[in-house]
Amino acid sequence: MENDLILRVEEKMITLRNQQVILDCDVAELYGVETKEINQAVRNNPKKFPEGYIWTLDEQERGELVKNFDRFEKQKHSSVLPRAFTERGLYMLATILKSSKAVDTTIAIVEVYAKLRELSRVMVELPQQEEGTVIQKELLHRGGQLIEDLVTDVLPKQSTETSFELNLAMFKFRHSVRRGKDGGKD
């Protein structure tokens, strides 16, 4: 179940204002509560959410989300603009929500952000290493593992081979997944 929850968190993350965030409606879904309960928790604890921890989207941002993500279609006609929770905002929300599901969800959120931070560190350190060194090979391997962890489970489960290549300056990642007819990895 833990991996399923981590996958659900990964699927809910979007990039807004150059940050990985989760919208209030998705946070509510992950925690198994209504969006209004999430926003009420924020209103009742304003000191826990200083500037930069959470923000309200503007009309243009909402329009882009509705256009690019089917799951935000219901936002199109809402009179309330959605809120975006940053990593810090999600951590603070975790100090308020206390259910067993909230604890599991918070752990999944922490795991996803930790992988993203580690991948970022690998990407910064990689160009500083000499070509062909053991350290460079280890960094390439670790970067590949992190990307695989973050994206493999969202690939379609078919009886075909799925391949993609990600070329990020000095870091190239190629990944193939072969799935049998039963959907399992071959």
- Per residue in 119-170, pLDDT (tens digit) is 777 777 777 777 777 777 776 767 777 676 666 554 444 444 555 555 555 5
Strand pairing report for 54-56 and 161-168? unpaired
Q: Which residues contact 18 (CB under 8 A, 6 or more apart)?
A: none
CA 124 to chain centre: 20
CA distance 57 to 103: 27
Question: Is the full-model pTM beyond 0.75?
Answer: no
Domain interval for residue 110: 2-132
- Per residue in 64-80, pLDDT (tens digit) is 988 888 888 888 888 89
In a domain, 173, yes or no: no
In a domain, 176, yes or no: no
CA distance 65 to 59: 10
In a domain, 152, yes or no: no
Distances (CA, A) of 147 to 33, 39, 136, 153: 30, 32, 16, 11
In a domain, 102, yes or no: yes
In a domain, 61, yes or no: yes
Structurally, the chain folds into a number of domains equal to 1
In a domain, 97, yes or no: yes
In a domain, 107, yes or no: yes
